[in-house]
Chain A
Amino acid sequence: MAQNEWPLWEVFIRSKQGLEHKHCGSLHAADAKQAVQMARDVYTRRQEGVSIWVVPSAAITASNPDDRAELFDPMADKIYRHPTFYELPDEVKHM
């Protein structure tokens, strides 16, 4: 059985018109069309979605968890990128 396994797909669902597609899980399917059909059966049984994307899992390139510090920590000391860093006089009111 193992050698004849259907490939793995990642499933993304748009829950409502106007919202983004969000990753919700994965499934095995022979091809893209079947993956969409199965995603519909598995992940939208209670009207959880209005649109489905499927992507072959093998096509995803991900960052390496070991690089987390290198990639993301440099942003920790750049608080000037946030609006709350700037203290303006009260007279300015909303800005």
Chain B
Amino acid sequence: MYTQAIDLPGKEPKPESAGEQTPDQTRFDAKLAADEKIEPRDWMAEAYRKTLVRQISQHAHSEIVGMLPEGNWITRAPSLKRKTILLAKVQDEAGHGLYLYAAAETLGVSRGELVDALHSGKAKYSSIFNYPTLTWADIGVIGWLVDGAAIMNQIPLCRCSYGPYARAMIRICKEESFHMRQGYDALLAMMRGTPAQRAMVQDAVNRWWWPVLMMFGPHDRDSQHTGQAMKWGIKRISNDDLRQKFVDATVPQAELLGVKLPDPALKWNAERGHFDFGAIDWEEFWRVVNGDGPCNRERLATRVRACDEGRWVRDAALAYAAKRRAREAKQAA
């Protein structure tokens, strides 16, 4: 999903390696060329550090904002079983956000700065969370397709050259599989239900399919930072390759489920050994990325409100900790 950040236009620092070659830079380049990991206190190129801060923090923001469309349905889940599953999933997303913020913080930025960048609109999050969850079927489709696409995207990140990011991704990928399977399971249950329930699933698939394909980011030919990110070992597989892999894996799952993917151009190409699929509406993609999707304002406003309304709790916890420390010091004296 979540690697969209790397493709979005932004002030991208020029790689220093273009200029003079310091001994530090040479050692750094050699490490990456040998596929060695970079750890927090190692010397690293400034452009590498900045790119990682941008990508990891935007990945973290996506996890946190990603709780909102699903959170909408916790109180309306159709059974206690589905409710406990959804609660556990949303709690996982909070955990994923935390692992990732912690990884970003090892690069010398504070949690406050990262969160401020999200709240001011300076930092982006995955475009997919700016779409609404209109029915219960949307929750199943998010698990199956959105988390399915996220897994596709995130597995290569487990081999990312930056140690803390790679370790966070390993933990996340382990938990993500539950997300996808519970979604597919919820949809299977609905498909075995009434015609109205089956229609609900089909409607949700129709609305989510194209936004999900957009999660992989722009076409390789339009992806400006891919080359550098690959050289740095931050990105391992190109957007189009991942998208193709996702489509190929999803078509048989849709068949088994009994839904139709809303693309008349979708068909098996024996020569390529892949499914062909139709053109993506990139105008919609950029509109949503740049703030004008169906839910952008609502999502951001909800985040900012939650942060503002929780401030007194955070302050009180700090004040209480300080008071206890002072009391203990007095008793010890």
Contact = CB atoms under 8 A, between A and B. Distances in A.
B111 interface: yes
B43 interface: yes
Contact of A30 (B41, B105, B320): B320
Chain A interface extent, by class: 20 to 34
Interface stretch (B13-21, B197-205, B311-319): B311-319
A45 interface: yes
Q: Which of B39, B321, B325 has the most CB of A within 10 A?
A: B321
Given A1-B116, A1-B307, A5-B112, A30 B95 contact: no
Nearest to A5: B112
A20 interface: no
A30 B317 contact: yes
A28 B317 CA distance: 12
B222 interface: no
B123 interface: no
Contacts of B41: 62, 64-65
A65 B31 CA distance: 14
A53 B284 CA distance: 48
B135 interface: no
Nearest to A46: B175
Given A62-B41, A65-B39, A8 B112 contact: no
Contacts of B321: 30-31, 34
Interface residues of B, number: 31
Interface in B212-239: none
Contacts of B274: none
Interface in A71-88: none
Given A31-B324, A45-B91, A45-B95, A1 B112 contact: yes
A47 interface: no
Given A31-B324, A45-B91, A6 B105 contact: no
A6 B273 CA distance: 53
B105 A8 contact: yes
Contacts, number: 58
Contacts of A30: 314, 317-318, 320-321
A3 B110 CA distance: 10
B43 to A, nearest CB: 7
A76 to B, nearest CB: 17
A61 interface: no
A28 B99 CA distance: 11
Given A31-B324, A65-B39, A6 B317 contact: yes
Contacts of A66: 43
B113 interface: yes
B92 interface: yes
Given A28-B111, A42-B98, A4 B116 contact: no
B102 interface: yes
Interface of B: 39, 41-43, 88, 91-92, 95, 98-99, 102, 105, 110-113, 115-116, 168, 171, 175, 307, 311, 314-315, 317-318, 320-321, 324-325
Interface of A: 1-6, 8, 25-28, 30-31, 34, 41-42, 45-46, 62, 64-66
Given A4-B315, A30-B320, 18 more contacts: A1-B116, A1-B307, A2-B116, A25-B99, A25-B168, A26-B105, A30-B314, A31-B317, A31-B320, A31-B321, A31-B325, A42-B95, A42-B99, A45-B92, A62-B41, A64-B41, A65-B42, A66-B43
23 contacts: A1-B112, A1-B115, A1-B311, A2-B110, A4-B311, A4-B315, A4-B318, A5-B111, A25-B102, A25-B171, A26-B105, A30-B317, A30-B320, A30-B321, A31-B317, A31-B320, A31-B321, A31-B325, A34-B321, A41-B91, A42-B95, A42-B99, A45-B92
